[in-house]
Structure 1
Amino acid sequence: MADGRIVDIGTGLDGDEVVDCTGTTLLPGLIDCHVHVTVSEINVMHRLYRPFSYQFYEAAQNLRRTLEIGITTVRDAAGADLGIKQAVEDGLLPGPRLQISVNAITQTGGHGDGWLPSGHCVPLSLPHPGRPPSLVDGPDEMRRTARTLIRAGAEVLKVCTTGGVLSPGDDPKHSQFTPAELDVLVAEAAMQGRYVMAHAQGTDGIKNAIRVGIRSIEHGMYLDDEAIDLMLQHQTWLVPTLVAPVNVIRAGKAGAALPEVVVRKAEEVAEIHAESVRRAAAAGVRIAMGTDSGVGPHGTNLEELPLMAACGMSPAEVLVATTSSAATLLGYGDELGRIAPGYRADLVVVAGSAYDLDQLAGNVREVWKDGARVVDSGEPTGKTVRA
C-alpha cells in the first residue's frame, strides 16, 4: 500500500511492514448505503429532552461504532451535514467516509413532516444553518429545495415518494409527490452531477420513482411484478433495509415511546418486506446493502446480512452487495469495494470464513481505511501502518 491505495496483490511482496493474516479472510471495506448517524434511537421523548447539539456528539460515537465492525463507507440518508463529513475527512473524528444527503425532501403531511395531531412539530432532524428545511410542495419549491440542499453540501438528494412506518400520520402504501415534482428533482440533481435516492415503500410510489429515473429505491416493501420489471428495465437499485422494521418492533417491545400505530405498521410490513426482497433478488434486481441504522443501534449494522441471505441471496452475493455493488451505487466503483491495484486500501481482516454472516461482526480483527489501520481487534488505533 502507498498513499492510501493498494499497489499490488500477491505473495512474497516487498513492503516496509508485514501484517500476518494467517487463518483469516481479507475483505474490502464494507459499505452501508443507508444510515442516519445523527440519530441514535427512535424514542421521541428521549430526543425531545436532549439539547440540540447533543446529536453531534452522538454522531461521533455512532461513526466510531460503525467503523469498528468493518464499515469504512456509509451513505447518510438525512441528518449528517457537511461539518460532520469534513470532521471525519480531516481526522477529527474516527469513522467511515460519508456520502451525505443533508436532509430528506418531503411533502406537507408526508413521511418526514414532523407535524403531530397536537399541533406540535417534531421532525427527525431539526433544520439548522448546515441542514436546511426540506418540506416542499409543487415543482417550484422542489427546485429551490434541491438547489439549497446541494448548496449545503448534499452529494445525493433524498426524497420520500411514499409514507413510512415511523411517521404515525401517513401510510407506507400511499404515494407522495407527483411525477411532475419528481421530474424537477431528478433534473436538478443531474445538472449538478448528483443522483436521487427515494424512501419508497408502497407500490405506486416505488413505480413513480423508477419511471422518473431515481437511482435507488430505499426499503421497497411493496414490490409487485411490474415494479420489479421496471427496476430491471431502468437498472434501478434496491437498498432493502430489512432490519429496520425488525428494530422498530424491538424498540416497541423494549418500551420506547412510540405510538401504537407505528409498531403495528412495522409488524404488518416485516414479512411482506422480506417477500418483496426475495422476489427482487430472484429476478436479478441490483441490490446494495443498507440498514437504516439510527432506527436501530449503530454498530449492529451487520445484522442486515443474514436477513438478506434469508431472502435467497447466497453469502457471496450478500458480501458483493455490501462491497462492490454498494460502491457502484454510490458512484465509487472505480476506487472502493474491491481488493485490486489502484483501489483505496480499505480492508477488513476477518477471523475464519467471511461467509459465516451471523458471526461476521464478532470476527472482525482489523479494519484499514485509506492504508491506515484504524481498528485492531475491535479497538480503534488511529495509527497508520504502511504495508
Structure 2
Amino acid sequence: MTRTLFHSGRVFDGTGSPIAQADVVIEDGRIVDVGAGLDGDVGVDASGLTLLPGLFDCHVHVTGSGLDLPTRLEQPFSYQFYAAMANLAATLDCGITTARDAEGADLGVQLALERGLIQGPRLQISISMISQTGGHGDGWRASGNHFLYGLPYPGRPDGIADGPDEVRRKVRELLRAGAEVIKVCTTGGVLSPRDDPRHRQFSPEELAVIVEEAAAQGRAVMAHATSPAGVKNAVRAGARSIEHGTILDDASIEMMVEAGTWLVPTLSAGHSLLAMADQGMRISPNALAKAREMTGVHRESVARAYAAGVKIAMGTDSGVTPHGENLLELRLMHEAGMKPEDVLAAATSSSAGLLGVADDRGTIAPGKRADLVLVDRDPYDLADLKSAIVAVYQDGARVRG
C-alpha cells in the first residue's frame, strides 16, 4: 500500500490541544502515524498550511433547500432528491466529511453516498422527526391545508404521533425504515405555524417510551428543544442531545452537565433567517416575529451553557439556512464566547463523540480515518474559514481542492 506523507505543515488534532508542527502519514484510508521526521512513498507539501480533522455538522436537512414556501409548493416531489445531491456537495466543499441529517434524508440517500453514486459527507439519518399533533412537526395551517417539512412516502414515514402506544409504534416504523438516530420535538419551534417555542410538547411518559424504544435497538435520541421545560423533559428521559437550546435556564444547564447531554446550538438558524428576510425572501410573519424574539436570547443561552461546561457539538440547521454556508456557525459560536480551539473541537472530536464514531474519526491520530482538511491560514481565525480551505480528503482520497 502507498504511504502518503503530509509534511512541513502544522496540525490541529481535534482535541483542543495547541496547534503544533507535525507530519502525518496515511495508508489505505487510515492515519498510521503522526509526529516529526516521518517518511512516505508520496509526499504532500503542507508548508504554510494547517491540517485539521474532517469537520462535522450534526444538524442538517439535505433534502431541504430554503424557506420559500411558494417555490417549494411548485416543485415536483422528486426534485428534493436531486437538490440533495447539490446540497451534499456544497456541504463537502466546507470540509464537512460527516453529517447528521435531522429530518428528510432517507435510506436511499445514505446508500447512494455509501456506494459512491453521489458525493458528500458520510450521513447519519433520522428520516422523520416525531411530533405531537399541533407540534413543531405538524404542518397544519389555519386554512385547513397541510404543508409538512417533508411529505411522507414508503421510505419516510409520517412523524405525527400521540400517546405512548402511538409514539412506540412510530419509533419502530422509523427504525424499520433505517433511522440511525430518533429525532423528537419536545417544544414548539420558530418555523412551525401554530405553536410557541416556549411551550413543552410530549409528556414525560411519551418521551420515556421514545427513548426506551430507541435504546432497545442501540439508537440515541436527539431532541428539538427550545425552552427549559422541553429541555428538562428531554434530559430526564435520556435524550443524547438537545438541538437548538434557544432558551436555557440555570436548572436546565445544570441538568445537561450532570447527565452529559450534548448541546447542538444551530446559531446559524436564527441568524440566517433574519438575513434572508432582510434580503426579501418571503417568510411567514409569525416565524419572523419568533426569530427576532429568540435570536439574542439564543446566543446568551449558548454562552452560559459553554461557561458551565455543557458538551457542545457543531450543527447548523442547513436546509433551513443555505447549504454551503455551514462554517458560519463556527464564527457565531466564537462570538457567543467559545474559544477558537473549543469551537474547532466542537466541530471535530466532540461531534464525533455525539454521533458515536469517536473511535473512527474526529481526531488526527493513528488508526482513525484519513478524513482531513488543509487550510492556508490560522484556523483559529473563524471569520471565514471556508475561504481558507485548500483541500478536503475522505478516507485519504482528495475529494476537494
Gaps of 5+ in 2: 1-25
The match for 2:20 is: none
Which secondary structure state, in structure 2, belongs to the residue aligned with residue 162 of structure 1? coil
**One of 70, 90, 96 as aligned partner of 1:45:** 70
> Which residue matches 2:130?
105
Runs of 4+ in 1 over 4 A off after TM superposition: none
Q: Determine the C-alpha separation between the residues in 1 that align with 2:154 and 2:371.
A: 33
What code does the residue aligned with 1:151 have? R
Tell me how far 1:3 sits from its aligned partner.
2.5
In 2, Cα distance between equivalents of 1:256 and 1:145: 35
Larger deviation, residues 357-366 vs 243-252 = 243-252
2:248 corresponds to: 223
Question: 2:400 matched to 1:375?
Answer: yes
3-state DSSP class of the match of 1:267?
helix
Equivalent residue for 1:139, pick from 164, 181, 204:
164
Where 1:18 maps in the other structure, the secondary structure is: strand
The one-letter code matched in structure 1 to 2:122 is R
Partner Cα separation in structure 1 for residue 257 and residue 34 of structure 2 = 35
2:279 counterpart residue number: 254
Could you tell which deviates more after superposition, 9-18 or 153-162? 9-18
Tell me how far apart the structure 1 counterparts of residues 126 and 349 of structure 2 sit (CA, whole Å): 21
- Structure 1 position 307 matched with structure 2 position 332: yes
TM-score, with length taken from structure 2: 0.93
Distance 2:280 2:335 in 1: 28
Q: Which residue of 2 aligns with 1:156?
A: 181
**Matched position secondary structure for 2:35:** coil
Counterpart CA distance in 1 for 2:259 and 2:47 is 43
Structure 1 stretches lacking a partner, 5+ long: 377-387
Partners of 1:69 and 1:302 lie apart in 2 by 7
Measure how far apart 1:190 and its partner are.
0.5
Match of 2:84 in 1: 59
Separation in 1, partners of 2:384, 2:161: 43
Cα shift readout 1:227-282 (whole Å, capped 9, x = no counterpart): 00100111111000011011111222223222211111001000000000010000
Secondary structure at the aligned position of 2:30 is classed as coil
Give the counterpart of 1:28 among 53, 57, 62: 53
Q: 1 CA distance for matches of 2:270 and 2:184?
A: 19
Q: Distance in 2 between matches of 1:48 and 1:254?
A: 21
1:175 aligns with 2:200: yes
Q: Distance between the aligned counterparts of 2:143 and 2:108, measured in 1?
A: 33
Q: For 1:71-109, what per-residue CA distance to the aligned partner results, in whole angstroms no more than 9, with x for missing partners? A: 000000000001101111111111000000001000100
In structure 2, C-alpha distance between the alignment counterparts of 1:29 and 1:56, rounded to whole Å: 25
Question: Structure 2 counterpart of 1:157, which letter?
Answer: I
Bigger CA drift: 249-258 or 174-183?
249-258
| TM value normalised by structure 1 | 0.96
- Counting only pairs closer than 5 Å after superposition, residues 189-208 of structure 1 correspond to structure 2 as 189-208=214-233
Q: Could you tell me how far apart the structure 2 residues matched to 1:306 and 1:170 are?
A: 30
SS of the residue 1:164 aligns to: coil
| Aligned positions, number | 376
Q: Of the candidates 67, 89, 96, which is equivalent to residue 114 of structure 2?
A: 89
- Quick one: which amino acid aligns to residue 344 of structure 1? R
Residues in 2 aligned to 1:375 and 1:251: alpha-carbon distance in whole angstroms: 28
Asked if residue 116 in structure 1 is aligned to residue 141 in structure 2, the reply is yes
2:97 counterpart of 1:72 = yes
Q: Which runs of structure 2 are paired with 1:277-356 in the superposition (5 Å)?
A: 277-356=302-381
Partners of 2:353 and 2:71 in 1: how far apart? 37
| 3-state SS in 2 of match to 1:281 | helix
1:236 matched residue in structure 2 = 261
1-structure distance, mates of 2:379, 2:319: 25
Identity of aligned residues (%): 60
Q: Which residue of 2 aligns with 1:272?
A: 297
Q: Aligned partners of 1:278, 1:14: CA distance in 2, in Å?
A: 43
Shift of 1:302: 0.3
